[in-house]
Structure 1
Amino acid sequence: MRVLKFGGSSVATPQSVEAVLSIVKQSAEKRPIAFVVSAMGGITDMLLMAGRLATVQSEEYKQIIAEIENRFLEYVRHMLPITTQSATLSMVKQQINTIEEICNGVFVLQEMSPRTSDRLVSFGELITSRIISAKMEADGIPHAWIDSRELIKTNSKFGHAAVSFSATNRLIRKCFEASTERIAILPGFVASDDFGNTTTLGRGGSDYTAAILAAALSASRLEIWTDVSGMMTADPRQVRNAKPIESISYQEAMELSHFGAKVLYPPTVQPVMRKKIPLWIKNTFAPADHGTLITDSAHDGSEKISGLSSISSIALLSLEGAGMVGIPGFSKRLFAALAGEGVNVILITQGSSEHSICVAISESDEYRAVNAVNQAFHSEIAEGVVYPIKSERDFSVVALVGNSMVNQPGISGRMFGALGRNGINVRAIAQGSSERNISTVISTSDLRKALNVLHESFFETSYKQINLFVVGVGNVGSRLIEQLRHQQEYLQEQLKLQVRVIGVANSRQMHFDEDGICLDSWKEKLSVGSAMNLEKFIEVAVGMNKRNSIFVDNTGSHVIAKTYKSFLKRSISVVTCNKIACSSAYSEYSELKSLARKFNAQFLFETNVGAGLPVINTLNDLLRSGDRVSSIQAVLSGTLNFVFNKYDGTRTFAEVVQQAQDEGYTEPDPRLDLSGTDVMRKILILARESGRVLEMEQIKNAEFLPESCMEGDIASFYGEVAKHEAHFKELLEKAQVEGKRLKYIATLKGDKASVGLQAVSPTSDFYNLDGKDNAVLFFTDRYKEQPLVVKGAGAGAEVTASGIFSDIIRAARV
């Protein structure tokens, strides 16, 4: 014999019942079956609502009952031929009358006892199963309808009755031995006590009914038919990439169901596990799908983790005090106080010092639990040796489950590392010695992020998802997005990275899409986005709480540079070409680096120096390998190198600068380049990265630009530069007479830095530096005579974008 159970969604409509009966008939062709049905979807909740409304004397309960009646009557009318409807419609109306009588009594008494509640909610399964039985009779399917209350006996703990297995097993066997039908249909969830009162087995108890039957009858297998194709590696409502688990052990299934996997009611596993009866979870609406097979030993040892599960609405209770240390019995008293109030403890953790005990319970039990524990430790609290119980809400428990975890070192480290890198704070941990379950308590606001982070870490070998928030989509930003678009397929196939832009903004507008902005049409999306508001941008980005998030700043804005702290504090990495943050006060620079370390985020700014050249990364590699930088000489301005390479006296200096700006080599205001300010920032950043504590005002700047050029707007600047052409020509001719070339050079020697225009001879490493190229010479303990040289294009939107791209990938692969 086989036992099948169909859930509320499987019997929710006449069409779904047709699918159920097709499965039943096919299965019954090979062997006798018993099948258990739940109440039609939503009916149990409506019955409970009617009872609650009646309790508070709200007349609305009558409307709820009318809706229940209408649903059942429509169910009958659409399921049965008109000629066979009469008896079933009469049965429904009779049962609805009884429901109304119960609720009328509750209304008068203003009280609904657990016993009355059990009686009330039992009608969902009883009526649904009787209607389906009538449908089977109308379709000519021989069967027997059996009232589960006559077979399953429990104690009188209404609401969650405990089964008396000896009596129940005897009654089930006797009933089925006497039956001559190959198919039996039974209502799930319901049972009765020794006095004949209706009891229930808890929400989800229809699964349990089926398991009790299967164990009593030594069935060949138990099938739980629902609306999903088996147990999933995570809740698909939270994790889009969740996938079905093909096979799992009884113990793992119990762990997952206990921690929130709704597809299986936790007590279901116990009866079939004792008899080693295979339990198969299948999809009523996709019967060909494999589903999940639950057996005594489902793994071959190659899999390490089976799934993730979670419970929300958790409160943490902490009992602390010096008076607990070394004193036996505190734990016992704590749990006795909670048990006395019927409070279920979901998770326990205790320090080895015994100074504190922390338990996780349902938020609905919090008030009773706090009062009970404070009362139990009243004398110790009064004496000050134990603190009043501390209670906190809005937590969730996330459990990582797997039989083979015990034999695989590093699972815990991998779990906590993944959470930590994404800024998810773990408030409590519980792990048994069997290591079948590692449970963590986290803020509910981080639940979705945590589940996706862990699922990606343990189940998604295909790719790692990276989420970008991009501000600044001008020359550099637009080219970055184009490079990302062009490389999407390569990144996913070769680096296993799925890089998505989920937020984009310019100075006027911003646009977000949690599922990823199409990079073929981002400009159109942005053009119809909402008005740019930096505070709102931060609020939305942080509020999304996405895993592996990176904020990308392609601007030169002081205001945006000030936002980095907000992102780093939420473990959102920052990638920027904006030099302002790293060249501000040393304390600001140092704080950003410290925040990145503290919150496990990356703060990367390679393009601050040399655009796409690996200058900062090379410097960091030298220091990490134990080398020490003694001095740095560098041409750090692609703009200035371009200008002085192009300025040969045949055109005015102003014309050459204008060309540099037109070709995108200068800052929006060319004076930042020509005044040496930009180079000062770059050498300051290199000095700081090499370990020097240096401020901007400590850098010596030998300016070559006449003072009047710095006044007024950009148009005025060009006018002044033109007026001073003789000055620039004199600088050029003096260098040419000496056989030298003009280069703007930054120098760091010891703790002193300087920048300025120099005439260099042909023996200089900078003499033949062409176009917009940069060159950085590192003199170190290992490179004393011949410096380590990094050389290449140091300006331009394309190479700057590629440098930002590289930093994004570097941050993503941590």
Structure 2
Amino acid sequence: MKVLKFGGTSVGSTKNINKVISILGAYSITDQIICVVSAVGGITDRLLKAGTLANQKDKGYVAEFEAIKKTHFNLVAELIPKQNKSVLNHVENTLLELKSLLDGIYLINELSPKTSDKLVSFGELLSSYIITETLKNQKANAELKNSQELIVTNSNFTKAEVDYSLTNKNIKAYFKSIDHKITVLPGFVSKSKIGEITTLGRGGSDFTAAIIAAALKVEQLEIWTDVSGMFTANPKLVKQAFPIEKISYQEAMELSHFGAKVLYPPTVQPVFDLNIPIHIKNTLKPDDAGTIISKNSTNNKAPIKGITHISNIALLTLEGSGMVGIPGFSKRLFETLAQEKINVILITQASSEHSICFGIETKDAELAKNTLDATFENEISLHKINPIILEDNLSIIAVIGDNIKNHQGVSGKMFSALGKNNINIRAIAQGASERNISAVIADKDVKKALNTLHERFFEVKTKQLNLFITGVGNVGEKLIDQIEQQHNFLKKNLKIDVRIVGLANSKKMIFNAEGINLSNWASQFHYADKSSLKGFLNKVIALNLRNSIFVDVTANEAVAELYADYLKNSIAVVACSKIACSSTYENYKNLQDLSLKYNAPFLYETNVGAGLPIINTLNNLVASGDKVTSIQAVLSGSLNFVFNNFSDHTNFHDTVKRAQFEGYTEPDPRIDLSGIDVARKILILARENGGIMEIEDIQNDSFLTPANLESKSVDEFYKTLKADEAHFQKLYASAKAKNCQLKYVAEFKKGKAKVGLREIPEGHPFYNLEGKDNIVMFYTQRYPEQPLIVKGAGAGADVTASGLFADIIQIANK
């Protein structure tokens, strides 16, 4: 004999009911089958809504009733298309009884727990009847048995307690006498000893099946639902979640209690002592393995079996110095909650006895606070304790596994992973069994927390990075291309899964929480939303994805002004723009502080030298205890390109034009040629070396003429370059006469910095610097005579993009 239970979604449509009948037919070939069914999917909620509307004198209950009626009539018409008159009559009579009950609730304005139980029982009674008649219509040897005639309870309406002595006696007697192959039973419903209709609690159909299975001592109980077993996490929130092959009764109860809806927690109890396995199966995919719940399923290699959560939690705290050393506070607290029938989900108490905090459902929060404030009114008035503190919009997350106690560091890994994503923990609880570690967090962080923990405990140590890129011009495009090209390599070799989730240009922005398809990302902008800097920020915050990184590939001051907002929301920032780090020292320092405070990396290697590891090298020198005494550098690939290509055979105007055309200067070349760009770079290096400096402190010896510097537009600037060609030729001639090269040099020494055009003699490390290359020489206590030199391409889209990419990978490795 086998006991199978089918949930609401399994009997929620004609298609699914036919799948159920097919499963029952296959099983009944070799076994006698007991089939427990829930109400048709969504009907219990509709019944409760109709009852609530009727109780509120809202005639909308009639529309709800009509919807319920239509659902069941449609099922009969589709499942039993011919000779269904008697079936329709029975269903119609049952529905008339339901309508009469709803009318009564409307007239007397009363919906007691007793009436509620009678109301919701119609769902299972209707579904079980229709399924039985469908089986008979298909020539199956099936009969319907009303569970209310078998399961006896007390009168605790809406969640009645079973009298197992009478119930087991009834079940054994009935099934001893039957000879049909399939018995269909409505789940959830029961009757009290005095014949009143009761129910076993929401999800009680599982419980019904377990009661039957235990009474008959069957070999296995099967729970058929719409998923392929109990998952490592909620698959709707964690895409990488997968079914758990085997799990213990205790683990299953913990997962169910903490939000895994596949199994109703009381289901386990009747079969636990008899060691009857529970097999969770998928009606829609009957060949899937599912999950087996039994006594012995511990895997020593996997301390964590699942991660789950409960939403809509409120945290209440009772605290005060008057509690210390005084017995009875806990007793009074929980007695008060018990009298109001408020269920406590989580409890934690400080060892100092100074406070007790507990988690309850949000719907009970105000009642709990008001009642407890009244209970402790005297102590509150005497300032021995504080009024109850109430916090809502919270959830409980829990990692669960029988073998947590045998593995060191599970809690450390859990809290470390959450901390790195700046998920604030309001309370922590761990039972003495060490089977469950629970934490209270904000509702908004649940998805991020579940994915973070699943990645930490279940995935092959692959770290997912979620990128949001603003600025998809030349450098931005190269960065996207590099990410697409390296994606598989990074995932396979470095265990890093880099996804671009958001992209924005000056006009449009696109998002995809599952990752933008990089093979056609540009075309997606045709149908994108209008771009907004604040809108982009708000969307990134709303998505709240783990390991989020904002990448700024613009030269937009308004974008740089938002870095602080990203960091405050624990979103790492990778900046190509120098604007933020070369702004006021106060802003620079604030961004560094926010990065530390919110555990959100702020990296900007490309601010100096594009893809060259200049800032990283300097930071490593400082961190290792070395002291940088001076810095000499050629930091402008643009200016180096210009002066390497300018001679007495060319003119300065055309050389600058060429540099701009080939992408070595900003769209406004005045930024490069004025020296302000180099000044910003040496300022950043000075600050990274501990200097407290402003841009005004940098001595800028410009080689441009007053006319160049005073030009009002780019076009006017180019005109002045032509007009002042003699000036630039004079600079070149002077250097050539001394066998020197013209280089725009930045220097930092003894707390002072300057930038300007220098004549570099032959033999100097700067002399043979070619093309767009940059070079930095660090003189330190460890390198006093022969400096540490970093040299290479310091401009260009490819190398700048690679520098940004390197910063992104560095964040992944933290």
SS at match of 2:240: coil
Distance in 2 separating the partners of 1:227 and 1:539:
35
Distance in 2 separating the partners of 1:750 and 1:435:
59
Distance in 1 separating the partners of 2:714 and 2:48:
74
Match of 2:490 in 1: 491
Residues 592-632 of structure 1: per-residue CA shift (max 9 Å, x gap): 01111111111110000111111111112222222221211
Measure how far apart 1:652 and its partner are: 1.6
Amino acid at match of 2:365: E
Distance in 2 separating the partners of 1:71 and 1:477:
54
Distance in 1 separating the partners of 2:779 and 2:271:
73
1:311-460 mapped onto 2 (5 Å cutoff)? 311-460=310-459
The alignment status of 1:619 with 2:638, answered yes or no, reads no
Residues 104-148 of structure 1: per-residue CA shift (max 9 Å, x gap): 221221001111111111111112212222222233322342221
The alignment status of 1:70 with 2:84, answered yes or no, reads no
Match of 2:583 in 1: 584
Residues 722-758 of structure 1: per-residue CA shift (max 9 Å, x gap): 2222222222222222222221211112312222222
Measure how far apart 1:393 and its partner are: 1.7
Distance in 2 separating the partners of 1:25 and 1:156:
37
Match of 1:242 in 2: 241
The alignment status of 1:786 with 2:786, answered yes or no, reads yes
Match of 2:11 in 1: 11
**Stretch moving more, 728-737 or 209-218:** 728-737
SS at match of 1:499: strand
Measure how far apart 1:665 and its partner are: 0.8
Distance in 2 separating the partners of 1:278 and 1:530:
53
Match of 1:181 in 2: 180
Match of 1:213 in 2: 212
1:1-40 mapped onto 2 (5 Å cutoff)? 1-40=1-40
Measure how far apart 1:70 and its partner are: 2.8
Q: Is the contact between residue 699 and residue 752 of structure 1 (CA under 8 Å) also seen in structure 2?
A: yes
Distance in 1 separating the partners of 2:132 and 2:632:
90
Match of 2:49 in 1: 49
SS at match of 2:393: strand
Distance in 1 separating the partners of 2:386 and 2:622:
50
Amino acid at match of 2:348: T
Distance in 2 separating the partners of 1:704 and 1:15:
81
Match of 2:267 in 1: 268
Match of 2:762 in 1: 762
Distance in 1 separating the partners of 2:507 and 2:133:
66
SS at match of 1:498: strand
Distance in 2 separating the partners of 1:529 and 1:90:
55
Residues 639-678 of structure 1: per-residue CA shift (max 9 Å, x gap): 1111222122111222222221111111222222222211
Q: Is the contact between residue 643 and residue 657 of structure 1 (CA under 8 Å) also seen in structure 2?
A: yes
**Stretch moving more, 503-512 or 657-666:** 503-512
Distance in 2 separating the partners of 1:707 and 1:10:
82
Distance 1:337 1:744, change over 3 A: same
Distance in 2 separating the partners of 1:10 and 1:779:
74
Residues 693-749 of structure 1: per-residue CA shift (max 9 Å, x gap): 222222222222222211121222222222222222222222222222221211112
SS at match of 2:681: helix
Distance in 1 separating the partners of 2:97 and 2:726:
106
Measure how far apart 1:519 and its partner are: 2.1
**Stretch moving more, 274-283 or 68-77:** 68-77
Distance 1:21 1:526, change over 3 A: closer
Gaps of 5+ in 1: none
Residues 522-547 of structure 1: per-residue CA shift (max 9 Å, x gap): 22222443332222222222222122
Measure how far apart 1:62 and its partner are: 2.8
Match of 1:159 in 2: 158
Match of 1:809 in 2: 809
Q: Is the contact between residue 81 and residue 138 of structure 1 (CA under 8 Å) also seen in structure 2?
A: no
Distance 1:67 1:731, change over 3 A: closer
Measure how far apart 1:368 and its partner are: 1.7
Identical pairs, percent: 52
Match of 2:548 in 1: 549
SS at match of 2:766: coil
Distance 1:752 1:81, change over 3 A: closer
Residues 298-350 of structure 1: per-residue CA shift (max 9 Å, x gap): 12211121112111111111112111122111111111111110000111122
SS at match of 1:240: coil
The alignment status of 1:725 with 2:725, answered yes or no, reads yes
Match of 1:628 in 2: 627
Amino acid at match of 1:11: V
SS at match of 2:403: helix
Amino acid at match of 1:95: T
Distance in 2 separating the partners of 1:562 and 1:104:
62
Distance in 1 separating the partners of 2:669 and 2:44:
72
SS at match of 1:82: coil
Distance in 2 separating the partners of 1:59 and 1:752:
81
The alignment status of 1:127 with 2:134, answered yes or no, reads no
Measure how far apart 1:781 and its partner are: 2.1
Measure how far apart 1:485 and its partner are: 2.3
Residues 398-434 of structure 1: per-residue CA shift (max 9 Å, x gap): 1111222222222222222222222322112111233
Match of 2:146 in 1: 147
Distance in 2 separating the partners of 1:413 and 1:511:
37
Amino acid at match of 1:733: A
Distance in 2 separating the partners of 1:704 and 1:103:
90
Measure how far apart 1:81 and its partner are: 5.3
Match of 1:751 in 2: 751
Distance in 1 separating the partners of 2:577 and 2:726:
34
For these two proteins, the number of residue pairs brought into alignment is 813
Q: Is the contact between residue 321 and residue 356 of structure 1 (CA under 8 Å) also seen in structure 2?
A: yes
**Stretch moving more, 473-482 or 158-167:** 473-482
Measure how far apart 1:293 and its partner are: 0.7
Match of 2:798 in 1: 798
Distance in 2 separating the partners of 1:215 and 1:68:
33
Amino acid at match of 1:27: Y
Measure how far apart 1:573 and its partner are: 0.7
Amino acid at match of 1:540: K
Amino acid at match of 1:428: A
Amino acid at match of 1:385: K
Measure how far apart 1:257 and its partner are: 0.6
Distance in 2 separating the partners of 1:537 and 1:70:
45
1:522-541 mapped onto 2 (5 Å cutoff)? 522-541=521-540
SS at match of 1:651: coil
Measure how far apart 1:162 and its partner are: 1.0
Match of 2:288 in 1: 289
**Stretch moving more, 122-131 or 17-26:** 17-26
CA RMSD of aligned residues (A): 1.7
SS at match of 1:537: helix
Q: Is the contact between residue 419 and residue 450 of structure 1 (CA under 8 Å) also seen in structure 2?
A: yes
Gaps of 5+ in 2: none
Match of 1:669 in 2: 668
TM-score after normalising by structure 1: 0.97
**Stretch moving more, 394-403 or 734-743:** 734-743
Amino acid at match of 1:703: S
Distance in 2 separating the partners of 1:715 and 1:37:
80
Distance 1:165 1:764, change over 3 A: same
Amino acid at match of 1:793: A
Amino acid at match of 1:772: K
Amino acid at match of 1:802: S
Distance in 1 separating the partners of 2:141 and 2:470:
69
